Amino acid sequence: MHEVSIAEEIKQIVINKLNENNGKMVKKVNLLIGEMTSIVPEALRFAFEIVAKDTPLENAVVNIKVSKTIAQCNECKKRFRIRELNLICPKCNSMNIEVIQGREMIIQTIEMET
């Protein structure tokens, strides 16, 4: 899929931050990836290994936290977990709901050697 272009983006952002903070090498990259994105964590790790070669990210461990899909009912404001696709409020049965979590792709933190 497009894990390679995502890995490239991560690499660029992390290298900029490394330079800003006078770091030498990245040891760990902590990501938050939403359940509802099309990203497959293993594929992303594999893609990252490839794009990180010969860069200060070469030996970095990529830690991926998966963000659960959560919706909120616009009627009764209840927040609930979405597992199977039943976008109906478990409290008031309204279908007027909005997915509020599960589509993120965020670099949270990195650990670097100075």
Partner 1 sequence: MAEINIFENIMKKNEEIAEQNKKIINNGFCINIMSSPGAGKTTLLEASLKNLKKKFNIAVIEGDVSTSNDAVRIKKCGVFAYQIKTENYGGGCHLDANMIKQALDKIKNKSKYDLFIIENVGNLICPADFNLGEDKKVVVLSTTEGEDKPLKYPLMFQIADVLVLNKIDLLPYVNFNLKNFEKNIKRINNKLKIIKLSAKTGKNIDEWIKQLEIWINEKK
Q: Which residues bind partner 1 (CB under 8 A)?
A: 1-2, 4-6, 9-10, 13-14, 17, 21, 23, 27, 31, 36-38, 85-88, 95-97, 99, 103-114
Q: Which is nearer to partner 1, 6 or 57 (CB)?
A: 6
Q: What is the chain's alpha carbon radius of gyration, rounded to the nearest angstrom?
A: 18
CB of 54 to partner 1, least distance (A): 19
- Beta-carbon neighbour count of residue 104 at 10 Å? 15
Tell me the two tokens of residue 114: 């100075």
Max distance between CA atoms of the chain, in angstroms, equals 55
Q: Tell me which residue of 32, 30, 20 sits closest to 104, measured CA to CA.
A: 32
Q: Which is nearer to partner 1, 57 or 112 (CB)?
A: 112
Q: Tell me which residue of 18, 109, 101, 23 sits closest to 62, measured CA to CA.
A: 109
CB of 96 to partner 1, least distance (A): 7
CB of 51 to partner 1, least distance (A): 12
CB of 66 to partner 1, least distance (A): 14
